[in-house]
Chain A
Amino acid sequence: MKAAVIVFPGSNCDRDIADALAKICGMQPHMVWHKDQDLPEGLDLIVLPGGFSHGDYLRSGAIAAQAPVMRAVKSRAEAGCAVLGICNGFQILTEAGLLPGGLMRNAGLKFICRDVWLKVDAADTIYTRSYGSDAVIRIPVAHHDGNYTADERTLDKLEAEGRIAFRYTDPEGNIADTANPNGSARSIAGVLSANRRILGLMPHPERLIDPIQGGTDGRPMFNSLMEAFA
């Protein structure tokens, strides 16, 4: 397995994701600066990490989406390379047009930093296979702009094509407004591209991979990736 983590000015989860890839997948990812034009050859996975790239100026992820390296990320994505965007990485993927929809200010206007419950809606992907269908997991979120929005037609299409990877739920796996932390349309926490190789999600699986962090519900995502690219 060969991976790269893109580092933007203001990324702050780049080392967490590198650590998760090292500890679980047993590989050291290439750290690629946003101004680089090229990516290493033969990558299986590109990660856009969490953080506050460019201080969230204009819109979260809007400036990073135009970074020089993003041209290479787009061409690799088109060639079928897996791309994982976590939190700010998800915002960047939507701003870059690699995933549909957008992420607006949280409905409650507050920055939310706590664990949330998620249901694995699509378990047939390189990211989620190890969870199993309908698994309910606990993963932290830490964002101000996580309110997923798209027009009704796009939302219907995502549902029909099974491209909603994760939804916010209560601890029993029930979808409810009270279990939706940020007002996301249809409780969407993560979406997939049409070829199911690109995943964007607001929660941070890389922050819960070791019991010392208070849980290990993030680990199966990295186990899934390791199996996919073994």
Chain B
Amino acid sequence: MKARIYIMPKSGVLDPQGKAIEGALAGLDFVGVSDVRQGKVIELTLSETDATRATAEIDAMCRKLLANPVMENFRIELIS
């Protein structure tokens, strides 16, 4: 089972990298761009084949290591 995990700064948490990107886009004359946020994507493959169990396992991974719940949210996507 392949999975992709999206980790994003929580809304309400200042994302200075997103702000810098937004400023750079404005500098390139892209108008009307707002709410730029930068996160990260982690891909992995599990030997688990059951979707429910795979999701539960990745959820535990996110809580323990992959994301920091103080400042980040995560979303799990099973690819195949």
Contact = CB atoms under 8 A, between A and B. Distances in A.
Contacts of B20: 109
A126 B13 CA distance: 32
Interface string A59-92: 1001100100000000000000000000000000
Contacts of A104: 9, 13-14, 16, 71
A34 interface: no
A101 B13 CA distance: 12
Contact of B14 (A59, A102, A107): A107
A62 B71 contact: no
Contacts of B70: 94, 100-102, 149-151
B71 A105 contact: no
A180 interface: no
Contact of B68 (A63, A102, A109, A147): A102
Nearest to B12: A151
Contact of B17 (A58, A95, A109): A109
Interface string B50-79: 000000000000001110101100000000
A105 B65 contact: no
A106 interface: yes
Interface residues of B, number: 12
Interface in A46-66: 58-59, 62-63, 66
A101 B69 CA distance: 10
A147 B65 contact: no
Contacts of B16: 104-109, 147, 183
B65 A183 contact: no
Contact of A105 (B17, B64, B68): B17
A150 B69 CA distance: 10
Nearest to A108: B16
A105 B13 CA distance: 11
Contact of B66 (A58, A101, A109): A58
Contacts of B71: 102, 104, 149
A66 B13 contact: no
Nearest to B71: A102
A92 to B, nearest CB: 12
Contacts of B9: 104
Interface of A: 58-59, 62-63, 66, 94-95, 100-102, 104-109, 147, 149-151, 183
Given A58-B65, A63-B65, 13 more contacts: A62-B68, A100-B70, A102-B68, A102-B71, A104-B14, A105-B16, A106-B16, A107-B16, A149-B13, A149-B70, A150-B70, A151-B70, A183-B14
29 contacts: A58-B65, A59-B68, A62-B65, A62-B68, A63-B65, A66-B64, A94-B70, A95-B68, A100-B70, A101-B70, A102-B70, A102-B71, A104-B13, A104-B71, A105-B16, A105-B17, A107-B16, A108-B16, A109-B16, A109-B17, A109-B20, A147-B14, A147-B16, A149-B13, A149-B70, A150-B70, A151-B70, A183-B14, A183-B16
